[in-house]
Structure 1
Amino acid sequence: MAPPRGAARGTGVVRGGGRGGGPARGGGPAGFKVGLPDAGSHITTIGVKRPAFGSSGRSLSVFTNHFEVSIPEENIHHYDTVISPSEKTLPARLNMEIIKRLQTEVAPQVFTPRAVYDGRKNLFAARELPFGPSGTQEFSFPLTDSPGDAGEGGRGPKLYKVKLTHVATINPEVLRRFLQGKQSHDNTVLTAITALNVVIRMEPSLKYPFNVRSFFTNREQKDLGGGIVLWRGYFQSARPAIGRMLINVDISTGAMYKPGKVIDVSLEFIGRPRDKPNVLAPRYGFPDRERIKLQRFLSGVRVDVQIPGQAQTGRRPARVVKKLTTAGASQLKFTMRDGVTLSVAEYFERMHNYKLQFPDVVCLEVGSGAIIPMECCTIPEGQIMRKQVPSEKTKDVLDFATKRPQDRLNSIRNGLGVLSYGQSEYVRHFGMHMSQNEPQSLQARVLDPPTLQYGTGSRQPTIKPRDGAWNMIDKRFYRPAQIKRWIVVIYEREARFRQEIAKEMVKSFLDAFAAVGIQVHEKDPIVAYRQSNARIGDQLKQIGGDCYRKNNNTGGPDLIVVVLPEASTDMYQAIKHFGDCTQGVATQCLKSSKCSRAKPQYFANVCLKINVKLGGINTVPDARSVPVLTDPHNPTIVMGADVIHPAPGATGRPSFTALVGNVDSDTAKYVADCRVQTSRQEMIDDLEDMADGILRMYQQYRTLAEKRSIPKPKRIIFYRDGVSEGQFQHVLDVELPQLKRACAKQGIDAKITMIVVGKRHHVRFFPKNSTEGDRSGNCPAGTVVDRDITHPTEFDFYLQSHSGLLGTSRPAHYNVLYDENNFTPDSLQALSFALCHVYARSTRSVSIPAPVYYADIVCGRAKNHYDPGSEQMDLTDSGTQLDSREASHQLEVFRAGFKPLHTNIRKLMYFS
């Protein structure tokens, strides 16, 4: 997840991975002062320095969800924090409690005014703490004075040690100079921004459940069912901008565990009624599969232990669920120190005088190894669920999270009351002040869309999109494909998808093909019904053989159209594996509910995908409207790269990488490569090899298909998706050299421009005047911002290239890391916007340039490269926990099982 610039992450530091990447903990003697550089000192940047500001397009007044904040006048003192005993990393929430007790009860005289803490390693104080010449002090104390915390055997409450060491004094003048463009973005600036983030987050972090950058309140919530409740959250991040410091405020959504009795929540999770707790009992048939699913859901949850009907003395610390037992409390036996063997149920009756109501229900095993009956445990309110929400609940999450622009802006304004910057003693003590409670307003620009060109025979050969959309009426594809032979395979029951519906569908396809210019030689394809319980690949191969024989042995099908029932993910995967990796034939899957008696518009949309899968080109940007892309003297290849990682909590799964690049002169026809690599590694290992293959295909296509005399590219524009700002330097150090080596291998002397495209940020724009927005109330497609809220020195901009449909649109954030082509801001913004219009699947501009979008799709389809019949590879989202040896072995299994694309498919847009 790419955090916004200057946001806290872990240690609180994000940007500048190549320059220390974090505050200088232990980086100098106590009281070490940071000197100010001379005004004329050389400013270094990670990315390209901003050459100028863009000026093209019409002006648009917008609000943005940023609020200006003053920066402290006095020095900030940075302390390294070590909390022990720390055999393992303590949760940030617990660390916050420890530091709160230290400041308010253990040593309030030392911490006046209060210091701020990030929950991990960094503590910042508005004055130097009185630790003497060493700059270090250690404190030792229990978290609570309650006798109820006494450990087993009468031991006293657990003691925590907190060691604070002064590591740096930050002069805010350094930050002020950075905002004015007179200071490099070095470790000192990073630490100063981190300090401001910790200051603004301190108050809400003590009051509410929080993750790194958001906190959540129960004022607005939605019960999702299945033991999950959604809470409205607020995101905040201090961000440097041109000449000033801003706080970016947004709403967010947190999935929380439903509070209540563990038995009730467990029954809700597995979808059983509350009055049947014995369905959780193995002796009454609780299946292992469901137990493991429930265990995944509950592992890591904090529970309060309270024996029903008994008074509780003092506050007991919450216990963390490790796993579920395989048997119920009456079947689980253990031997006590005196040699007596008891079941867990008998132990509770003897030691706690409590007879279990449900002795056959599985128990919870907590972190200490203790086993506790479910009926004695409750889940306290406000626990964030740090696992993926089940896919069937995604729509409900989106419904809750989605807000129209004006509603979102009002929620953000309301959030300021919850954030209470003015009331926060921490914000006041550090001398920070928010100038006004109104969002910043700024001047954006709306770029002209490119002109799009369609094929000969179109009544309207060129079109200028309006509001980010256009249609295919009276238009033929720029280069239509042809279909010699094709088959239709139906995996829906004939009673539900009758033969006359199938005939009607074939006719609708033939009409749609004719309308867009696709030539079809075979007007009566084989239509076959099949059951899905056999091996799908064998069935498709057999029907393909029938097609071969029907057409006098001239060849098999060019296209397989497959009609699928609902909930057919496994079948879809098997079909794609067969087409992409086994046989090298284009496949097009349709849902029976969508294509049954569908309107012509539906089949026209499907044709967009089929045409490019068969080697056609749907539309190209008109050469005059985007000269940068189509300059014949500077042949240009545009690449998009992405990496996706396994779901949180899943070990032994690989990450998948993808590289996509155009092969034609119009940057509309793309090829792709996909690879497996080490789990959760962001930098692409095989980029050199992947780029080498795409550069070869580009030259082959230009020589053979386009008959160009200069096949080698002169320019490479490389868009990289999904990289956090802390990894920009790594991209330059690891991926750029690989790209250059791939060019050198083939004697290509191309100038390279490298741009990171980010979507995972919280910057939003809202039209000031509702009449200037699109139909959804969002800013119009083509809205660009490169002033006011952008980086003080580096070349970046925000571009909202798509029109809104639901909720508030999110602009893409472009950071130019490397640019040998010396593009002007206007030309780079125009070509990025143009590339958002050549996404083959739709007649709308999309949110990021098409090659990056394609790379994202190719990564998501990586699982289709595995044989669906293989039992060895679990590719579900839930994942499993494996130790490091097992995980390493599993990774090798994934590498070995990954099937490359069939050679027939490699040169086609199979991923569309």
Structure 2
Amino acid sequence: MSQGWLQVKPKPGTMGSNVAGAITVNCLRMMSSPTIPFWHYDTFKETDVRAATKWMIIDRLEQENSQIFSQRVLYDGNKNMYSPEELMLPNGNAGGVFSVPLNYPRKTYTVVIQRVNIIQPVDVKLALMQSGDWDKKQIAINLMNVLLRSYPARLNEITVKGRGFYTKNGSQQTGHGVDFWRGFITSVRPSPSHFIINIDASVIPMYPSSYLTDAVCNYTGRGPGRGPGQLGEVTANTTAAKRLRILILRYIKGLRVLIAHLESSRGPVTKKISDVLWESAASYTFEHEDGTMTVQAYFRKYKNISLKYPDLPILAMIGKNAALPLELLKIVPGQPYRGVLPERVAPNFLTFATQKPQRRLNDLRGSTQLLGLDLLPPTGNLPQRHRSPYLYESGVKVDQTFMQVPARVLPPPALQANQPVSIRDPAQGSWNMTSQRVYRPATVKNLHLILGTAPPGDIQQFTRVVDQMITIWASMGIRCNHQNQQETVITRDQIQDFQGLQGSLNKFYERVKQNKSVGKGNSLVVVFVQDSAKAMRESTKWWGDVWTGIPTQALKVSKLMSQRGLDQYARNVGLKINSKMNTSDGGTPRSGINVYARSLDQTIMRDSPMIVGLDTSHPTPGSQFPTTAAMVYSIDEYATEYRSKVTFQRPRQELISGLKESFMAALQAHSRIEKRSGSFAKRVIVFRDGVSEGQFAQVMEAEVRPILEALKGMSETLGKMGIDHPIPRLTFIVVGKKHHIRFFPQPGSKMADRNDNSVPGTVIDTDITTPEPNLFDFYLQSHGSLLGTSRPAHYSVIYDDSGLSADELEKFSHDLCHVYQIATRSVSVPAPVYYADKLAGRSSIFFHDVFRRNETASTFSDEMTYEDWSNHFDSVRARPENERMYWL
């Protein structure tokens, strides 16, 4: 089965050849593939065994059955095993069942081995061919990845997570219950001429190797110095205590710990925490053969242990019956942290992960030793310390010099605001709007200002700064002339708490409803908050985005009152406000527009195209909270103004349901704007975010096919109305952001910016792309760098029935990266992708009313199905998605 559906794969592009050159990419070329066959076996049947434990089981299996495993086997950490020789298994070499005891953890496991097939060297080479069975190619690629990863995965100092390998070397202890480790992500993929090894730097949050009491104190902000006594509040009947209990439970549930007071002949005793009991060792009692006793008394009498914190009301449940004090439990080293990083830790993690290009490249060059890629024969009497026996013995050879790949730099689009001349110099990925007025100004007829925190300094100074900001908005062309009260009515309020916020918002809403001549999209609420005011911000956004449909903007007082850069800050806020509000031109509501691209490809734009962005956002594992699916679609002639649709589906369902109906409605909305010029959409271009290469076939069936049905349905509907309209052509592009290809231009060259990243517009569509004949892909870095090493976006064109060229696809994608309305910089992905991503990520806002009513939201949400969530949302929302870009 093919993985692409292009009738004709376009030839590589040529645009930008006047600024071109070779740049380094973080890929190594495999000079030869395996020269020996491998027998493929299916292994584990147990599904609840950790990956690290599976590695230990396979090692022990080999040790105890050396007559069967006379040569090293390859293992993928899941269920696939590969052997360079046929295994002499009990069941006629076709299969066997083995019992494997482990000392740590203490348990006997059953391993069922079943032969699948034989992978010959020619099968591996077929993965590089432009024709052939896709499934067989994937089997060969999986073998190559297992060959690469088998050496580092079995090193003692390595922690394996997914495709990553991490060590304590260069780690950082934060003192907040989460440490940071460095490592590398690896993968093998086919290219047009060779297999290539993609190696990238990676960082991961890890649990600290400390006693659980210290870790919990640090994680909850009760240490160091404050001690576990500060955790006594956890049992209080308050909202803060409920949140604290949820925080601790999520942190330690499922964690593997060493039990300090237990030791056996087979080593330390390791257990997993199953739950938390909110009682202290001094008060919790259980039945013992000597009668009822407390946990504290038990350890003092039978283990000769005097607890330091007997009154700490937190006991870790081990299994169903054992309740142990935290101070007796030590976290097993090498456990990746689960869940979302706390707000006070996340910035430090970002700083730790940020590396400038040349430092990153140097680290990657050093990773070849960790991966065992020194495959040359040893010289003299020197031992070969960094050679993977798995790669070496299979005949694989690797060029250890990172690849040099030809690249081009696409020109930026001509951007236009409300001036007779274009915006100057967007070539470096940024432009200046200081002297520009927005292209299509919004109108603010009702402005409500709410101060939700004490301002620094006096209130008069705060009022003056706010007035200056509004004046700057007016200078941008936004119609908010507060000097003329008949044009813009401004009201001000100061509140102390959530009740005050709700009262002020609702009072303003009543006033808006009474004035029928002013639309909701021409009213605005600005709430001024302190830095840590996530709940107040989300409450305001829910009120505006879901309940009333009135635009809102939350601003941090600290940034507003900063003595530096008020003009720039106010203009950035003005861009957001103008984009999310409506004009006052009457008729169909239209959004304010800041800039548009004048030079969008005419082959595409003359077809009145509808440009679409699709994305999904998933809940945490185990939650019954629904997956949010977001769709945005353009409605104007510049592919700049968008409307949206949000739906909810089963948790962690990636493929979007109901697209036929969604596209039919979107095409109708698009035609209502375009029909003024007698034109309907003749072309639809979809940018899909969030799916992996392995899901392309599913996307084709579950998403592309329903869209095609919608396009056909539109043509048939118009035909019944007497309008002869051809079926719109469709281009479907998957935009990937989670890949690990990086560009490293030569510092100081024309391909490099001042931070040694590639300049905006750098595109690569050869050498490291797919060999598939019906799939066209390219890597495009459209944005300028701010920190660290820039990540290009990976575009995979999986469907196109109009035969667009590589230049047309690449340039149009690049141009759309310049019309993200709230930025004066080009962004990393096309604007509709960015919009869909922002919209899909607003689930906490969409259901903020539910969470506020029930502070134990994690428990409450588990009692609701995704249908309950969806029905609740439909019952309360005001549907601003039909009128404006409210998510900005």
TM over 0.5: yes
C-alpha distance after superposition, 1:677-717 (max 9, x if no partner): 211111112323322222121111123xxx2112x100000
More displaced 10-residue stretch of structure 1: 797-806 or 275-284: 275-284
Is the alpha carbon distance of 1:849 and 1:379 closer, same or farther for their aligned partners in structure 2, counting shifts above 3 Å?
Answer: same
Q: 1:900 & 1:671 partners in 2: Cα distance? A: 19
Partner of 2:296, secondary structure, is helix
Within-5 A mapping of 1:385-404? 385-404=337-356
Question: Are residues 206 and 874 of structure 1, via their aligned partners in 2, closer, same or farther at CA, if it must alter by over 3 Å?
Answer: farther
Greater displacement, 414-423 / 831-840: 414-423
For 1:171 and 1:497, locate their aligned partners in 2 and report how far apart those are by CA, in whole Å. Answer: 79
Aligned to 1:835: 816
1:626 to 584, 595, 601: 601
Which stretch shifts more, 197-206 or 741-750?
A: 741-750
Cα-to-partner distance string for 1:625-645 (whole Å, 9 max, x where unaligned) = 5223422xx111100011101
Query: 1:49, CA displacement in angstroms?
Result: 5.8
Shift of 1:521: 7.3
Residue in 2 aligned with 1:220?
170
Cα deviation, 1:409-438, whole Å, max 9, x if unaligned, reads: 111111112222231222222222212x22
Query: How is 1:736-815 mapped onto 2 (pairs within 5 angstroms)?
Result: 736-747=704-715, 749-772=727-750, 773-793=752-772, 794-815=775-796
d(CA) in 2 for partners of 1:48, 1:352:
74
Match of 2:11 among 52, 60, 72: 52
What amino acid sits opposite 1:907 in the alignment? E
> Compared with structure 1, are the counterparts of its residues 808 and 44 closer, same or farther at alpha carbon in structure 2 (3 Å cutoff)?
closer
Is the alpha carbon distance of 1:246 and 1:497 closer, same or farther for their aligned partners in structure 2, counting shifts above 3 Å?
A: farther
Whole-angstrom distance in 1 between the partners of 2:498 and 2:274: 38
Residues 609 and 177 (structure 1), Cα distance of their counterparts in 2 relative to 1, 3 Å cut: same
Question: Contact between 2:127 and 2:140, CA under 8 Å: does it hold in 1?
Answer: no
Equivalent residue, structure 2, for 1:447: 410
Q: What is the CA-CA distance between 1:236 and the residue it aligns to? A: 0.8
Give the structure 2 partner of residue 526 of structure 1: 490
Structure 2 CA distance for aligned equivalents of residues 100 and 232 of structure 1: 26
Amino acid at match of 2:67: Q
Give the superposition deviation at 1:55.
Answer: 1.5
Aligned equivalents of 2:273, 2:556: Cα separation in 1: 41
Separation in 1, partners of 2:493, 2:189: 59
Q: Which of 667, 673, 694 in structure 2 is aligned with 1:701?
A: 673
- Cα 1:74–1:899 change in 2 (3 A) is same
Q: Quote the offset at 1:274 in angstroms.
A: 6.0
Supply the distance in 2 between the matched residues of 1:430 and 1:881 (Cα, whole angstroms). 54
Equivalent residue for 1:856, pick from 815, 837, 850: 837
Q: Secondary structure at the match of 2:648?
A: strand
**Separation in 1, partners of 2:653, 2:473:** 44
Q: Distance in 1 between the 2:553 and 2:234 partners? A: 48
> Counterpart of 2:724?
none
Cα distance in 1 between the residues matched to 2:164 and 2:41: 24
Structure 1 residue matching 2:397: 3-state secondary structure: coil
The one-letter code of the counterpart of 1:237 is S
Structure 1: give runs of 5+ residues left out of the alignment.
1-18, 20-42, 150-156
Q: Is 1:194 matched up with 2:142?
A: yes
| Structure 2 unaligned residues grouped into runs of 5+ | 375-386, 583-590, 719-726
Which segment drifts farther, 196-205 or 568-577? 568-577
Change (3 A) 1:679 1:496: farther
**Residue 98 of structure 1 pairs with residue 57 of structure 2:** yes
Partner residue of 1:252 out of 202, 205, 225: 202
**Segment of structure 1 superposing worse, 754-763 or 571-580:** 571-580
Residues 163 and 522 (structure 1 numbering): CA distance in 2 closer, same or farther, change over 3 Å?
A: same
Aligned residue for 2:154, secondary structure, equals helix
How far 1:894 sits from its partner (Å)?
Answer: 5.3
Query: What is the SS of the residue equivalent to 1:562?
Result: strand
Aligned to 1:154: none
CA RMSD of aligned residues (A): 2.9
Aligned length in residues: 836
Q: Is the 8 A contact 2:746 2:756 kept in 1?
A: no
Secondary structure of 2:127's aligned partner: helix
Q: List per-residue Cα deviations over 1:47-87 (Å, max 9, x = no partner).
A: 6663311111131221000011231011111011036xx4x
Return closer, same or farther for 1:273/1:802 CA change in 2, 3 Å cut-off.
Answer: closer
Q: Distance in 2 between matches of 1:213 and 1:389?
A: 21
Give the Cα separation in 1 of the matches to 2:517 and 2:865. Answer: 46
Contact 1:174 1:183 in 2 (8 A): no
Against the structure 1 CA distance between its residues 175 and 431, is the aligned structure 2 distance closer, same or farther, given a 3 Å change threshold?
A: same
| Identity between Structure 1 and Structure 2 (%) | 31
How has the CA–CA distance of structure 1 residues 60 and 530 changed in structure 2, closer, same or farther, with 3 Å as cutoff? same
Tell me what 1:559 maps to: 524
Distance, in Å, in 1 between the alignment partners of 2:234 and 2:631 is 52
Alpha carbons 2:199, 2:364 under 8 Å: kept: yes
Correspondence for 1:430: 394
Q: Secondary structure at the match of 1:318?
A: strand
CA positional deviation for 1:529: 2.4
Answering whether residue 84 of structure 2 is matched by residue 121 of structure 1, we say no
Report the residue type matching 2:353 in the other structure: A
Are the aligned partners of 1:661 and 1:672 in contact in 2 as well (CA < 8 Å)?
Answer: yes
Does 124-133 or 842-851 show the bigger shift? 124-133
Cα shift at 1:492: 2.9
**2:692 maps to which of 724, 748, 765:** 724
Specify the code of the residue in structure 1 equivalent to 2:348.
Answer: D
Give, in whole Å, the separation in 2 of the partners of 1:192 and 1:713.
43
The correspondence of residues 494-573 of structure 1 with structure 2, limited to 5 A, is 496=457, 498-516=459-477, 518=479, 520=481, 523-524=484-485, 525-531=489-495, 532-534=497-499, 536-543=501-508, 558-573=523-538
Q: Secondary structure at the match of 1:360?
A: coil
| TM-score calculated relative to the size of structure 1 | 0.86
CA positional deviation for 1:502: 1.7
Q: Which has the higher mean CA deviation after the structures are superposed, 803-812 or 125-134?
A: 125-134
Report the TM-score, using the length of structure 2 for normalisation: 0.88
Q: Does residue 318 in structure 1 map to residue 277 in structure 2?
A: no
CA contact (8 A) 2:4 2:798 kept: no
In 2, the alpha carbon distance for the partners of 1:363 and 1:95 equals 30
Q: 2:120 aligns with which of 146, 149, 171?
A: 171
**Is contact 1:494–1:529 with CA below 8 Å preserved after alignment?**
no
Listed as ranges, the matches of 1:179-328 within 5 Å are 179-184=128-133, 186-207=134-155, 208-273=158-223, 276-279=227-230, 289-307=243-261, 313-328=265-280
CA shift digits 1:806-860 (9 cap, x unpaired): 0111111111111011111110001000111111011111100101110111112
1:765 CA drift (Å) = 0.6
Counterparts of 1:480 and 1:277, CA distance in 2: 56
Q: Quickly say closer, same or farther: Cα 1:535–1:517, change in 2 above 3 A.
A: closer
Q: 1:779 to 1:494 in 2, by over 3 A?
A: closer
Residue 311 and residue 80 in structure 1: after superposition, are their counterparts in 2 closer, same or farther (change >3 A)? closer
Conservation of the 8 A alpha-carbon contact between 2:127 and 2:141: no
